[in-house]
């Protein structure tokens, strides 16, 4: 199994994975392994029996924050592409909807009167330059936002950026993709993009073809 389960919680990281013998850079390798392992976990959520809905996803290796690993995360999330159309990314959000539906089913099974949500998602806020596409630098802002929200679900604070996302941060970040929140979410993503010079990180990632090995 590409993730472990302990005390009704799933733990996902990139220490091992399908890119162990493919990607040379250890940070990129970790990032791509971590995301691939996390995507396997998400797929398993829709299966029966399903793994715990509580999780800890270490998408960046321990130590100093790695932008190489972050770009590896984003590249893997975008289907091993450096950019995708907004329309294509919207299709990816269908998996998030399936996960929420599975979680709702579990919640309602325990308490039929519990409130559940079925949000309408869009990737529009991630198209920061308005070209109809989302590149890995733009997409990476969403990962960083989820990480920050993990420490405080009410606001994004850089001090909470630690390379780990749990269900708390992921759930809080879902609001950023709701159609009614596009304007505010885009402002946040733009700020993250500029502050952390993610275009520079993307160009460095793309400069080594091995980082993008299939």
Domain boundaries, position 164: 4-212
In the chain, the DSSP E strands lie at: 4-5, 10-12, 55-58, 83-85, 133-135, 164-166
- In this predicted structure, what is the pLDDT of residue 114? 65
| Residue 41 and residue 2 in contact, taking contact as beta carbons nearer than 8 Å | yes
| Residue 36 and residue 2 in contact, taking contact as beta carbons nearer than 8 Å | yes
Token pair of 70 as six digits: 């972050």
Number of domains in the chain: 1
Give the whole-angstrom CA distance, residue 100 versus residue 97: 5
Give the whole-angstrom CA distance, residue 62 versus residue 77: 21
Give the whole-angstrom CA distance, residue 118 versus residue 104: 9
Its pTM stands at: 0.90
| Residue 102 and residue 46 in contact, taking contact as beta carbons nearer than 8 Å | yes
**pLDDT, tens digit only, all 214 positions of the chain:** 899 999 999 999 999 999 999 999 999 999 999 999 999 998 898 787 889 989 999 999 999 999 999 999 999 999 999 999 999 999 877 666 666 666 667 656 777 776 555 567 899 999 999 999 999 999 999 999 999 999 999 999 999 999 999 999 998 998 899 899 999 999 999 999 999 999 999 999 999 999 999 9
Q: Which of 163, 123, 125, 136 is nearest to 147 (CA)?
A: 163
- In this predicted structure, what is the pLDDT of residue 83? 98
> CB under 8 Å to 36, separation ≥6 — which residues?
2, 17, 18, 19, 76
């Amino acid at each position: 199994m590409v993730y472990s389960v302990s005390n009704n919680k799933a733990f996902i990281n990139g220490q091992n994975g399908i890119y162990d013998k493919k990607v040379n850079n250890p940070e990129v390798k970790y990032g791509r392994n971590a995301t691939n392992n996390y995507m396997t976990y998400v797929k398993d959520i829709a299966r029966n029996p399903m793994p715990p809905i509580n999780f800890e996803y270490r998408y960046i290796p321990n130590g100093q924050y790695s932008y190489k690993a972050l770009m590896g995360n984003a590249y893997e999330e975008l289907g091993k592409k450096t950019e995708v159309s907004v329309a294509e990314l919207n299709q990816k959000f269908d998996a998030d909807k399936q996960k929420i539906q599975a979680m709702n089913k579990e919640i309602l099974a325990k308490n039929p009167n519990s409130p559940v949500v079925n949000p309408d998602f869009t990737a529009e806020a991630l198209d920061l330059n308005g070209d109809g596409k989302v590149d890995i630098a733009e997409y990476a802002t969403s990962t960083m936002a989820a990480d920050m929200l993990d420490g405080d679900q009410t606001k994004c604070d850089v001090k909470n950026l630690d390379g780990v996302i749990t269900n708390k941060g992921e759930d809080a970040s879902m609001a950023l993709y709701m159609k009614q929140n596009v304007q505010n979410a885009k402002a946040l993503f733009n700020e993250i993009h500029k502050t952390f010079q993610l275009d520079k990180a993307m160009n460095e990632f793309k400069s080594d073809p091995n980082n993008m090995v299939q």
